[in-house]
Amino acid sequence: MFKTIVVGLLVFLAIMDTKAEGEVKDSLPGYLQHYDIESVDVVVTKLKQYQVGSKKETFTPLQKSSVEQGSLTELISRYQPIYIKTDAGGLASFRFRGTSDNHTSVRVRGIELNSQTLGSYNANNAPVFLFDQVQISFGSSSATLGSGSIGGNVRLELQNKFKNGVNGEGKVSLGSFGEYMAGAKVFASNGRLESVTRLVYYEKENDFPFENTAYYNFETRSYDRDKQKNARIENANLIQQLNYKWDDNRMLSSVIWLTKNRHEAQPNMAENTNPNTRYIEDQNIRTWIQYDQNSHIGNFYLGGGYVFDDNIDYSSKEQKITTQRWITEGGLKKEKDWLSMQLGLRYLFIKPDVYAYDESISEYRTSLYASLLATPIDWLKLSLNLRQQFVSRFNAPFTPALGLEMRLINKNNQTLNLFGNIQRAYRIPTLNDRYWGQDGYEGNRNIKPEDALSAELGLGYLFSDNETWTFRLNTNVFYMNVHDWLLWTQGSSGWYADNVMRVISKGLETTIRAYCDLGRQQIEIGGGFTFNPAVRKESDLITDIIDQQLEYVPKYIATGYIQYTFSRAGIILDGNYTGRRYYNQAGKYLSAYQLINCSAFYQFNLGNNLLRFDAQVNNLLSEQYQNQYQYAMPEINYRVAINYKF
């Protein structure tokens, strides 16, 4: 079946007119287009074109700048109704739409950042300052992105400016509990050749006070105040981009990202008395180079990358966990009138060196994908994405995806869109799931890929009076049915990986933004809400509770913000509510919590340059809460920052 479709698409490509066409134009009125989501990364823009009908979100400049001192975790959990399970800055994992941490892929250009051994990405290791924009896609996208993208996808975007001269910015920030951040970005270009250097150093002692609820004092009959120990964080990141543009039709872009992220594994409340420190260090080399050319044949792209991931646990340093990856991807995109097509091939070779694997293994993964985007009438956009992956010693499923965007109302000052998609998604089990072999922990070579069917349907409303007010409302429902959900299960001689569950996650998501431009003053109010029942529907484990909300999936989560800028000053007040979360199936849950934060800035013009001061109060009401069971979180804390743009 797949073969027939691919051959058909190839034939269709061949007989299409060879004249290069521009992008399929959106019929959105001009001033509304400015308010729609924009990618700043040209490579990302090309890739996401075929992801039609899925919910996507990004961040306003003020939102991004308010947490540039922090990590991706802080940015997303503050401004999007997405739950991220985290401790106080060391380790964080995404929980998109009720899925687990290895169901969300995080990407930069053509590189997936997720660990090939664990499957997940630590969102605390991505400093917000390093990137120009962050784009979030909700729901499955395996057909366009491959294995793992079941719950969502996060793209960290890097801009190529090609602006003549040298410009950039520097930032220094100080915060509570020994927090210090320094970063710089320098763009240098002569219009053809561009160098972009990005550098961030971050450290935090993380020795905040908290009430230790794990240790009840039977003599005083109370919980004692405690101080977090052994939770220091120290991250260093360097990105170097080198780009060359022959003309508007030919470009070479490259990126190398070096990281050394070291944190002490935060002890939970019960273990806070333990004097031992466990350092975890992630060292990564990530490179990607891509050539893009528009010609009469079409838009051709060819990329290649190398990734080296080294995870060092200082409590057992000799136990090596490293993986190397070589990636190649190429494809051809062709546009003709109302049709756009893409054919591509991605090859990945993985070579792990992990102390607990019982043999020297390597793995290749080849993906063949095809995409079709049709705009037969200016108010209708349809997409079809097909992907077949081939994995050594493993059968990956064929993944089709069908997307739809329909403009129901298209008046001068308002639009109403209907969007939706239905697709199959999957996740290849991680290398650990299959090959780990250690006392009490056994991988399973016979496990199957997780296999999901997901669908969503939503409405997007946009209104603008063309002068003062802009209003945007997106609301959608989603449904996801994941078979063969993989878990590590306890047997009599320890733990082993197996496909044990079927999970259904469904819900409602709403985001709203209202923007008012009064000349020197601007006001924006926005927020998001997620209602997400996610339950086990079937399980091979007789002790599992069917139809109970999954652990670490809040049924309710909401965010809200109001930002006000006046001339050179601005203030943003934001809050988020995270509903109660079960942390086991024994009926135990973590209480809901609300966090309120406030950020303000004032900036001066120094000739053509800009000097900006920022101040922040986080957790304004000093809420005592746990995001993760028995892991302390900081109460009220402060930050100040100075930023210079030239």
Measured from the CB atom, the residue of 102 and 259 that comes closer to other proteins is 102
End-to-end CA distance of the chain: 56
- The residue among 181, 388, 157 whose CA lies nearest residue 255 is 157
C-alpha 425/C-alpha 142 separation (Å) is 5
C-alpha 530/C-alpha 510 separation (Å) is 7
Measured from the CB atom, the residue of 492 and 622 that comes closer to other proteins is 492
Return the structure tokens found at 577.
């509510």
CA 328 to chain centre: 22
CB 372 within 8 A of CB 341: yes
Measured from the CB atom, the residue of 214 and 600 that comes closer to other proteins is 214
Q: How far, in Å, are 52, 150, 281, 390 from residue 399 at the CA level?
A: 15, 12, 36, 12
CB 395 within 8 A of CB 362: no
Measured from the CB atom, the residue of 215 and 638 that comes closer to other proteins is 215
Return the structure tokens found at 211.
């009430």
State the minimum distance, in angstroms, from the CB of residue 495 to other proteins: 9
**Site residues, other proteins (CB under 8 A):** 214-219, 268, 270-271, 273, 315-316, 437-440, 442, 444-447, 487, 489-494, 496, 498, 540-545, 551, 583-586, 588, 629-630
State the minimum distance, in angstroms, from the CB of residue 588 to other proteins: 6
CB 75 within 8 A of CB 86: no
- The residue among 282, 302, 283, 281 whose CA lies nearest residue 293 is 302
CB 613 within 8 A of CB 641: yes
Q: How far, in Å, are 59, 168, 184 from residue 181 at the CA level?
A: 21, 17, 10
For the chain, the farthest-separated pair of C-alpha atoms sits apart, in whole angstroms, at 84
State the minimum distance, in angstroms, from the CB of residue 392 to other proteins: 19
Q: What is the secondary structure of 11-36 as a DSSP string?
A: HHHHHS--S---PPPP-S-HHHHTTS
Measured from the CB atom, the residue of 294 and 444 that comes closer to other proteins is 444
CB 303 within 8 A of CB 109: yes
State the minimum distance, in angstroms, from the CB of residue 491 to other proteins: 3
Measured from the CB atom, the residue of 515 and 552 that comes closer to other proteins is 552
State the minimum distance, in angstroms, from the CB of residue 605 to other proteins: 52
Instruction: State whether the Cα torsion 52-58-60-61 is positive or negative.
Output: negative
Return the structure tokens found at 281.
């260090």
State the minimum distance, in angstroms, from the CB of residue 430 to other proteins: 16
Return the structure tokens found at 393.
């010693």
State the minimum distance, in angstroms, from the CB of residue 555 to other proteins: 17
State the minimum distance, in angstroms, from the CB of residue 450 to other proteins: 17
State the minimum distance, in angstroms, from the CB of residue 497 to other proteins: 9
Measured from the CB atom, the residue of 219 and 547 that comes closer to other proteins is 219
Instruction: State whether the Cα torsion 47-49-54-57 is positive or negative.
Output: positive
Measured from the CB atom, the residue of 601 and 631 that comes closer to other proteins is 631
Measured from the CB atom, the residue of 217 and 594 that comes closer to other proteins is 217
State the minimum distance, in angstroms, from the CB of residue 633 to other proteins: 17
Q: How far, in Å, are 83, 246, 287, 333 from residue 486 at the CA level?
A: 21, 48, 31, 36
Measured from the CB atom, the residue of 360 and 543 that comes closer to other proteins is 543
Measured from the CB atom, the residue of 490 and 594 that comes closer to other proteins is 490
The full 3-state SS of 273-341, as one line of letters, equals: CCCCCCEEEEEEEEEEEEEEEECCCCEEEEEEEEEEEEEEEHHHCCCCEEEEEEEEEEEEEEEECCEEE
C-alpha 442/C-alpha 103 separation (Å) is 21
State the minimum distance, in angstroms, from the CB of residue 93 to other proteins: 12
C-alpha 135/C-alpha 40 separation (Å) is 10
State the minimum distance, in angstroms, from the CB of residue 629 to other proteins: 6
Measured from the CB atom, the residue of 216 and 604 that comes closer to other proteins is 216
CB 233 within 8 A of CB 179: no
Q: How many CA atoms, within 13 angstroms, populate the side-chain half-sphere of residue 127?
A: 30
* C-beta neighbour count of 361 within 10 angstroms: 16
Measured from the CB atom, the residue of 442 and 524 that comes closer to other proteins is 442
State the minimum distance, in angstroms, from the CB of residue 496 to other proteins: 6
Measured from the CB atom, the residue of 138 and 552 that comes closer to other proteins is 552
State the minimum distance, in angstroms, from the CB of residue 481 to other proteins: 21
